[in-house]
Structure 1
Amino acid sequence: MMQKIFTGAVCGVCLVLAGCSAPEQAQPNTATESVSSNSSQMMDTKKDQNPMIIDVRTPEEFATGHVAGAVNFDVNDAEFQNQVKDLDKSAAYILYCRSGNRADGAKGYMESIGFTDVKNLGSVQEASQELGLDVVDK
């Protein structure tokens, strides 16, 4: 009985999530085909998302130059934990700092609270080069 309820709940969640972003398709013949099809669509959607780029340096360092499109969450500020706690834990995140050390600490913290796709790209310059994005000061 519990297995049927759990399976039904999983199917329902998959259908709701896939229905939010997937185009209309012909209905499959079985529930198994439905779950499989919608799970594939959800994985494709995640692949298409751009990662959030987070500069974990101080606001003063951020102002001297940061990767275009990055947000500034100072890992040494008490507010850092509040800034990351409500982010989507299954989304992709790119971190960097001056040398990679603070980004490594931030990555460890984020993974410890359930984030599954966090990458440390090291320094501003290394992140810029790896991502193919300019360093800007605005």
Structure 2
Amino acid sequence: MSFFANYLNIALIAIALVSGVLLAWPTITRRGHGLSAADATQLINRRNAVVLDVRTAEQYGQGHLPQARNYPFEELTAKASQISKNKGTPLLLVCQNGQRARKAEQVLTDAGYAEVYSLQGGLEAWQTAGMPVVK
């Protein structure tokens, strides 16, 4: 009990707890299932994820991920049932910078898909990482 009677020890314990919470905060508050380019590649290769590009058809035509299907965000709600027969299949959503894909995540989750991920930073991050783009 003398350990807890020393105020210095209590202060050190408090500092350690606060530091632990601050280190874990980004993980705790992270919304959605954003993946880096490397993690997205693993999801595609190991789990046969379906890649959906939620940009416009014009943007899609300028360059997209290999094997990506184009489902513009504006049409996603209407076409959600056509994406995959198995709603347990992982879906990877891609847009230009990641914002539209995060919105699309919610649409597809509400449609019943179990595993929906978005590419953090979108196509821009994919290209920055040196990953292939198909035109």
Q: Would you call these one fold, judging by a TM-score over 0.5? A: yes
Q: 1:54, CA displacement in angstroms?
A: 0.5
Report the CA distance shift for 1:118/1:96 in structure 2 as closer, same or farther (over 3 A): same
Q: Which residue number in structure 2 is paired with residue 83 of structure 1?
A: 79
Unaligned ranges ≥5, structure 2:
1-44
1:68–1:133: 8 Å Cα contact kept in structure 2?
A: no
Give the superposed CA RMSD.
Answer: 2.2
Q: Separation in 2 of the partners of 1:48 and 1:118?
A: 15
Q: Which residue number in structure 2 is paired with residue 101 of structure 1?
A: 99
Greater RCO (Cα-Cα under 8 Å, separation 6 or more): 2
Q: 1:49, CA displacement in angstroms?
A: 3.9
- The residue type paired with residue 116 of structure 1 is A
Which has more strand, going by share of residues? 1
Report the CA distance shift for 1:135/1:91 in structure 2 as closer, same or farther (over 3 A): same
Which has more helix, going by share of residues? 2
In our comparison, the structure showing a higher alpha carbon Rg is 2
TM-score, length basis structure 1: 0.56
Unaligned ranges ≥5, structure 1:
1-46
State how many pairs are aligned. Answer: 88
